[in-house]
Structure 1
Amino acid sequence: MDFFTADICDEYPDKTKVLGPGYQNFGGINKCQGVVTTIKLDKNNADLVALLRDEDGTGKIVVVDVAQDYFAVVGENLMKFAHKNNFAGIIINGYVRDTEQIQDIPVALIALGTCSRKSIPVTKSQRAISVSFGDVTFNEGDYVYTDNDGVIVTAEKIV
Structure 2
Amino acid sequence: MRDLLPELCDRYSSELRLFAPIFTSFGGQQIFAGPIDTVRCPEDNGLVRTVLSEPGAGRVLLIDGGGMARRALLGDQLAMMASSNGWAGIVVYGSVRDVMTLATIPVGIQALGAVPMKTEKRGLGERGVEVEILGLRIQPGQYLYADPNGIAVSDRALSLPDGFEELNFAAD
Q: Smaller-chain TM-score range? A: over 0.9
Secondary structure of 1:7's partner? Answer: helix
Secondary structure class of the residue paired with 1:129: coil
Identical amino acids, percent of aligned pairs: 27
Mapping for residues 16-31 of structure 1, pairs under 5 Å = 16-31=16-31
Are the equivalent residues in 2 in contact too, given 1:43–1:123 (CA < 8 A)?
Answer: no
For the pair 1:37 / 2:7, whether they are aligned, the reply is no
Structure 2 SS opposite 1:122: coil
Letter in 1 for 2:124: K
| Aligned-residue offset at 1:27 | 0.3
Indicate if the aligned counterparts of 1:79 and 1:107 stay in contact, CA closer than 8 A. yes
Amino acid at match of 1:131: V
- Distance in 1, matches of 2:106 and 2:137, equals 26
Gaps of at least 5 residues in structure 1 are none
Name the counterpart of 1:67.
66
1:1-159 mapped onto 2 (5 Å cutoff): 4-53=4-53, 55-70=54-69, 71-159=71-159
Give the TM-score of the pair, scaled to structure 1. 0.94
The alpha-carbon distance between structure 1 residues 146 and 87, as it changes in their structure 2 partners (threshold 3 A), is same
Deviations 1:62-90, CA, capped at 9 Å, x for gaps: 00001012210100000010011010000
Contact kept, 8 Å, 1:97 with 1:116, in 2: the verdict is: yes
Q: 1:98-141 deviations in whole A, cap 9, x for unaligned?
A: 00111110101100000010221413211111111144221100
- Equivalenced residue count is 158
Q: Deviations over 1:38-69 (max 9, x none)?
A: 0000311011111112x110120000001012
2:83 & 2:61 partners in 1: Cα distance? 12
> 4+ residue stretches of structure 1 with deviation over 2 A?
none
Contact 1:36 1:141 in 2 (8 A): yes
Whole-Å Cα distance in 1 between the matches of residues 74 and 44 of structure 2? 10
**Alignment root-mean-square deviation, CA:** 1.5
Question: What amino acid is the match of 2:34?
Answer: G
Instruction: Give the deviation of 1:22 after TM superposition.
Output: 1.2
Displacement, 1:6?
A: 1.1
In the superposition, the TM-score normalised over structure 2's length comes to 0.87
List alignment gaps of at least 5 residues for structure 2: 160-172
Mapped to 1, the partners of 2:134 and 2:118 lie a distance apart of 22
Q: Shift in Å at residue 10 of structure 1?
A: 1.8
Structure 2 distance, partners of 1:85, 1:145, is 19
